[in-house]
Chain A
Amino acid sequence: MSEIIGLKAKLGLDVFKHDKEPHIKIKPGMEKDPRLKRAILVCPAGLYEENQDGEVELTIDGCLECGTCRIACGTEVLEWYYPTGGAGVQFRFG
């Protein structure tokens, strides 16, 4: 239905192939860095969240590999790679 479906359900429509390790990681000690908070606003998949302690957490499942967090937050706070070959999102339409 073209009605509004939740973000999780939307991501559920995509094909994701499992990677052994998360390809994006928050650098240790940077969880409260203000730059990281930007990711909460910009991530089209809504994968960044702030927990009760004010730390930003990242759930890698559902990552669309768009690169927005790398641009917005920078590589001082994020360890950012693409998934290994054949892993990650595989668009059927694009």
Chain B
Amino acid sequence: MEEKFDAIIVGAGLAGLGAAYTLAQEGLEVLLLERGDYPGSKNVTGGRIYLNPIRDMFPDLWKKAPLERHITQEGVSVMAGERSLNVSYRGEELDQEPYQSYSILRAKFDRWMAKQAERKGAMLVSRSRVDDLIIENGRVEGVYAGGDELRSHTVIACDGVLSLMAEKAGLRKAGSASQYGVGFKEIIELDSALINERFGLEGDEGAARLFMGEVTRGKFGGGFLYTNKDSVSLGIVVGIKDLIEGQPAVQAPVLLDEFKQRPEVARLIKGGETVEYSAHVIPEGGLRALTKLSGDGILVAGDAAGFSMNIGVTVRGMEYALASGYYAAQAVIQAKAKEDFSAASLASYESMLNDSFVMQDFKNFSEAPEALENHRIYSYYPELAGNIMRDLYSVPAGSKAKLYPTVKKYLGTGELWAMFKDMRKVMKI
């Protein structure tokens, strides 16, 4: 093809869509390549997106976006073998517009957002796998896709957590298992009225629940549940390193089946029908695992760059994907204005990210991956908390022990010291 695009974007996930939308809006020539049947067909999320950090980057988008429910209820369950401790939070602030967070199904949302980007003038070609980068004199000049040679001033690699593009450009090394988790989930169809009844919701209100402890058999990770309009996303995220190392050895899919059978969960999904099973790797290495973000003629955004973060109470990735796509587009827009697509020019991407919530978050939470690696969080503490609760609440046939000694018997001096050390680590998050 004679024409040279301003940008070729590899992958129509949220990073790619954010970039395509922004570039097209500014009138740049942008080609978005997606290997799936349609944008979203290869994309998986646990299920919730936080809008506040990205609302203003795409001001026209949110009103009609096909999101599921706005989350008004947060819950964390600490699960021991036979009991669990639950904390739930609901607040008026969660039920006030503009809502901060929504459950989301990506096959629906991404397809819709791609339409919006196309309307702005982006060219989308689905069912097209990018096979390689065109690299000439150390500079990325475009891509090869299905025998076609497509040339562009810049390539934005938004090809997901494994980013083969960033690897080919020498911006990313194949990471170690400790820097990644794997998430797998079922979509379970349930009548929306039933969802509302079971979770105590009204209308489009939604619930989010995280589960930790026994659900991963003590491995780094946890379970999640998000209510959609008429389905529930139920899944597990677990560290790949922990899965490999065993202790106890368990095949990943078994964890989800066990999770579904926990009485706390089983009653929530009873009568529902599983309609899809999906899985994906999640970058969890934090700041230290980020790739090099740009090179000569190339930028990396979204999961491809490592922009996803687990800080225990929240697991986030989609906002970082949309925002990094947005900033990558801004860098290309500036480069186009200067007619300079060199590495130095495109480095403005990194400085914009540094000034944004994206890198601020990654810096603020740079200690999280290490702190959360502590296995006591996933096995010891859940059991301990469960046991204390059991003893506090049990009324035996004979006399009941005094409350303070009941608790204290679990918390000897050595124990408290170990907890103090663990706490200090967690306090770095």
Binding site for B on A (CB under 8 A): 1-2, 4-5, 7, 10-11, 13-14, 17, 38, 40-46, 64-68, 70-72, 74-75, 82-86, 88-94
Chain A residues whose C-beta falls within 8 Å of the C-beta of B105 in the assembled complex: 93-94
Q: How far is the CA of A94 from the CA of B233 in the complex (A)?
A: 9
Let me know if B246 and A41 touch, CB within 8 A: yes
Binding site for A on B (CB under 8 A): 35-38, 40-45, 105-108, 110, 126-129, 145-146, 160-162, 164, 174-175, 177, 180, 182, 184, 186-188, 231, 240, 243-244, 246, 249-253, 257, 260-261, 266, 269-281
Q: What total count of A-B pairs have CB within 8 Å? A: 158
Let me know if B44 and A91 touch, CB within 8 A: yes
Known: A2-B272, A85-B127. A44 touches B37 (CB 8 A): no
Let me know if A94 and B43 touch, CB within 8 A: yes
Let me know if A43 and B271 touch, CB within 8 A: no
Let me know if A66 and B182 touch, CB within 8 A: yes
A selection of 9 A-B contacts at a CB cut-off of 8 Å is A1-B273, A42-B240, A44-B253, A71-B240, A90-B37, A92-B276, A93-B107, A94-B105, A94-B106
Q: How far is the CA of A42 from the CA of B239 in the complex (A)?
A: 10
User: Which chain B residue lies CB-closest to A11?
Assistant: B277
Let me know if B43 and A91 touch, CB within 8 A: yes
Q: How far is the CA of A92 from the CA of B180 in the complex (A)?
A: 25
Residue of B45, B249, B278 near A64 (CB, 8 A) is B278
Q: How far is the CA of A13 from the CA of B261 in the complex (A)?
A: 20
Known: A14-B276, A71-B175. A94 touches B44 (CB 8 A): yes
Residue of B106, B186, B261 near A91 (CB, 8 A) is B106
Q: For residue B381, give the distance in angstroms from its CB to the closest CB of chain A.
A: 25
Given contacts A64-B280, A71-B281, A93-B275, 9 further A-B contacts (CB under 8 A): A2-B269, A38-B243, A38-B244, A43-B251, A74-B174, A84-B146, A91-B106, A93-B107, A94-B44
Let me know if A7 and B279 touch, CB within 8 A: no
Q: How far is the CA of A4 from the CA of B258 in the complex (A)?
A: 9
Let me know if B253 and A85 touch, CB within 8 A: no
Let me know if B126 and A86 touch, CB within 8 A: yes
Let me know if B257 and A4 touch, CB within 8 A: yes
